[in-house]
Structure 1
Amino acid sequence: MKPAKTYDQLVQENEALLIQLEEATDTIHAIRTGQVDALVVHGKDGHELYSLKTADQTYRVFIETMNEGAVTLNEEGLILYCNSKFASMVGMPLSKVIALPFDSFIPADCKPLFTSLFSEGWTADRKIELSILSDKGLVPCQLSATTLELDGGISMSVIITDLTLQKETQKLLKTNNERLEEMNTALEISNHDLQQFASVASHDLQEPLRKIQMFSELLKDKHIDDLPADSVRYLEKIIDSSNRMRTMIIDILSYSRLSTHSDTFVLTDLNELVTEVLKDFELRIQEKKARVMIAKLPTVEVNQGQIRQVFQNLISNALKFSKSSQPPVIEIKSSQFSGQDGHSDEQFCSITITDNGIGFDEQYVDKIFSLFQRLNTKDVYEGSGIGLAVTKRIIDKHNGQIKAHSREGIGSTFIISLPLRQNKPA
């Protein structure tokens, strides 16, 4: 009977085994990564030389550095070689994966797909998507099969790409798209309801307002001599307020209708359109002794009614916000240019409308195109504060832009950029 080993002996033996294990691990790693191409092994017949063939070594180096799983199969479907990535994907030690049939990692419902890939992959490159089994469940993957001629003969190389992140992203994208569609549908319904409400409310409000105006005017015409001075003043305020209310209702109605009208674009000579607009302002122009100068304007594809409203709003503002000390001077001119920075074939026109009115502080330039924004008191300058919001919305619907520049006491310039032709879908 052998004497029992002492504790120190056991410790020494354990350390020796650890050293041998580390050497073996280093050797295996060196073989896998191509750091060695031959081994000297001590056997019963003495030292023997085992060489690693060049093609196999190059292949091992290549697939070991891949970020995707890779296996080499023989004609029976057994795994001759695999990289560390594939072992990690299936959650097994690399040494346990070698020599296993690859279809042992294929779930039952995916086996027909893999059988087809394995059968056809010997004659042509093939790709399929299926799931593989791992220690944590199913992993969605893409398998790409091709044949390789290595020193050991013809083998099938299969690259396994983990599609987990891609599938999760696709699922998230699909969910977000469905939510976006639902939100768009809800928004369309809400916009339609809002437009209907604005239209109905504006229409229904006009009837009682007309009665307020009518009876106020009757009271003023027939009984003004019988009313005290304070009552006359109050009555005039009622009439002025009801007139402003009527203007605001009409403007709201116009703004809401911009979303319901179809975008019918026709080639329009802006010279003729502006001339017609100026005829509507003929009396105001005479009263103000205004001077309007118009350079030659282009022919543009627009919605005539909407663009007419744009010029009506801007010319009306130029007349309204004029100085009391001098007649208004309004200048309208245009130029043409290609798309942004001249890199596009699309042609645009730039129309500027300049006046010598009271102007405004440019720090408010972003506000003037918002609904109900007023920079001047309503007691001095009439209006609802909707006109420029309507103007901007019309220009947006024409795929254009509108900007403003101004200086207090000097005047304002509005610059409109419009495409000469609207690119309508075929």
Structure 2
Amino acid sequence: MEEHSTTNIAALQAELEELRHQLWEAQETIDAIRTGQIDAIVVNGENGHELYTLKTADYSYRVFIEKMTEGAVSLNYEGVILYCNSQFASLLNMPISKVIGMAFQDFVPEGSKRHLRRLFENSWSKDCKEEVLLRTCDLEIPVLLSLTALEFNENMALSIIVTDLTAQKRTQQELERKNAQLARMNHELGLSNHDLQQFASVASHDLQEPLRKIQMFSNLLKEHNKKILSSESKRFLDKIVNSAKRMKALILDILSYSRLSAANNIFEEVDLNDIVKDLLEDFELIIQEKDAEIRVGELPQIEANRGQIRQVFQNMVSNALKFSKPDQVPVIEISSTYLGEKSFNAPPQPEGPYCLIRIKDNGIGFDQKYENHIFALFERLHSKDSYEGSGIGLSITKKIIEKHDGLVQAWGISGEGAEFLLLLPVSQEKNKHHVSTQEDLIGRG
């Protein structure tokens, strides 16, 4: 029994000695780490022996620095490069081993070195950003330097992130070139619009006078010689008079269209019910002649150019009466709906910011495949012998609607009528910067 106790005491003493030895080793390791004598330890963990270094904590950070698309540089107080990542070396087209140890100012043009030194001096006390040129291989690369003073191996170092601005500068130069080109085009467009206005002035005054004389003397010639003129000669004179009449209408339509190019506009509160009421009085004779039925629903009050909107409704009603079927009473329906969005498919919304105006007739209609053609300048779907007109009316309508920041759309079935949709904003907020004293060009005609 005594022998067994002696054995247990010896085992405990041995185990105690081993623990003392392990504690001593741990203390020695801690002291070595604390004094910087070692930078790694081996730990026996659940997954076996694992190596930990003093740099393990910032390993991910170092990988990030190497993988980043910007250059990264660390400088000492003298401006010597202590560290750089591969991106910065690649920017200079030099190996890292050659870059480290060089002065950063060696990579800037001679005229920029003094400015760079001042920048470095300021960066030790506060973060700075500055654009400079890096010179390498006879090339100058625009870069942005982001400078911050940081502790580096127990000493202060200047940390610099270098962003290559080559692509950005190229894009900026291209943008400036495009802007200059756009400015030239706008200037040329202004000159072209001026020429168009000059032409419109000539058309409205100088060209109409000869036409008036052609019509007048043709009628006089026909009247004074009606007894001696053959039927064929009378037919020729009628063609001259009718052609002069169409030419005058064409000139007036071109004048109206050109005036729509004016940049300024007048907007005021317009009650569309009053507009339509006045128009129906103007069309009273032709409505009676065709025994037409005009159905008008309640229309909104909107901000618009009164003269231009009047011309839109005039063109719409005139077309509906003109292109009616000879064997059927013309029926024209005008209605409106408020919408919440600038879309023909938007759901109705009481007192919404947009109004949709529908003008529907039961006339000859048109094939839907010609929808875009009917709004084109001088485009006609019917011969001038069958229906009078210059072919500009719907072009003027489209341009007026667009000047009001609106949309226009047409639906038709050949032989079954047509429907025009006019989508207009109730308020002209986008256009209120226009000069309000500009003459209402279209409204005066």
TM-score (norm 2): 0.81
Between the aligned partners of 2:361 and 2:154, the Cα distance in structure 1 is 89
4+ runs deviating over 3 angstroms? 51-60, 340-346
Asked if structure 2 preserves the Cα contact closer than 8 Å seen for 1:202 and 1:252, the reply is no
What is the match of residue 215 of structure 1? 217
What is the match of residue 16 of structure 1? none
Q: How does 1:178-217 map to 2 (within 5 A)?
A: 178-217=180-219
Asked if structure 1 preserves the Cα contact closer than 8 Å seen for 2:266 and 2:305, the reply is yes
For residue 347 of structure 1, the aligned residue among 335, 353, 360 is 353
Q: CA RMSD in A?
A: 2.2
Q: How does 1:5-404 map to 2 (within 5 A)?
A: 53-54=55-56, 57=59, 59-260=61-262, 262-340=264-342, 341=346, 347-404=353-410
Alpha-carbon spacing, 1:343–1:114, altered in 2? closer, same or farther (3 Å): farther
Which amino acid in 2 is paired with 1:167? Answer: K
In the TM superposition, what is the alpha-carbon distance from 1:202 to its structure 2 partner? 4.2
In the TM superposition, what is the alpha-carbon distance from 1:220 to its structure 2 partner? 2.1
List runs of 5+ in structure 1 lacking aligned partners: 1-36, 39-50
Using the TM superposition, name which of 291-300 and 92-101 deviates more.
92-101
Using the TM superposition, name which of 158-167 and 198-207 deviates more.
198-207
Which amino acid in 2 is paired with 1:266? Answer: E
Which amino acid in 1 is paired with 2:402? Answer: D
SS in 2 for 1:131: strand
Between the aligned partners of 1:134 and 1:55, the Cα distance in structure 2 is 35
What is the match of residue 418 of structure 2? 412
In the TM superposition, what is the alpha-carbon distance from 1:357 to its structure 2 partner? 0.6
SS in 1 for 2:207: helix
Between the aligned partners of 2:408 and 2:59, the Cα distance in structure 1 is 68
Asked if structure 1 preserves the Cα contact closer than 8 Å seen for 2:200 and 2:255, the reply is yes
Asked if structure 1 preserves the Cα contact closer than 8 Å seen for 2:339 and 2:348, the reply is no
Deviations 1:116-141 (A, max 9, x none): 22112222211110112212321111
SS in 2 for 1:226: coil
How many residues end up aligned between the 2 structures? 379
Asked if structure 2 preserves the Cα contact closer than 8 Å seen for 1:199 and 1:256, the reply is no
Alpha-carbon spacing, 1:342–1:162, altered in 2? closer, same or farther (3 Å): farther
Deviations 1:51-71 (A, max 9, x none): 774467555333211211111
Asked if structure 2 preserves the Cα contact closer than 8 Å seen for 1:82 and 1:98, the reply is yes
Between the aligned partners of 2:405 and 2:321, the Cα distance in structure 1 is 27
Asked if structure 2 preserves the Cα contact closer than 8 Å seen for 1:346 and 1:419, the reply is no
Deviations 1:86-145 (A, max 9, x none): 112222221111111222222222223322221122222111101122123211111111
Alpha-carbon spacing, 1:343–1:109, altered in 2? closer, same or farther (3 Å): farther
Alpha-carbon spacing, 1:342–1:317, altered in 2? closer, same or farther (3 Å): closer
In the TM superposition, what is the alpha-carbon distance from 1:228 to its structure 2 partner? 1.0
List runs of 5+ in structure 2 lacking aligned partners: 1-38, 41-52, 434-445
Deviations 1:326-371 (A, max 9, x none): 1211111101011245799970001111111111111111000111
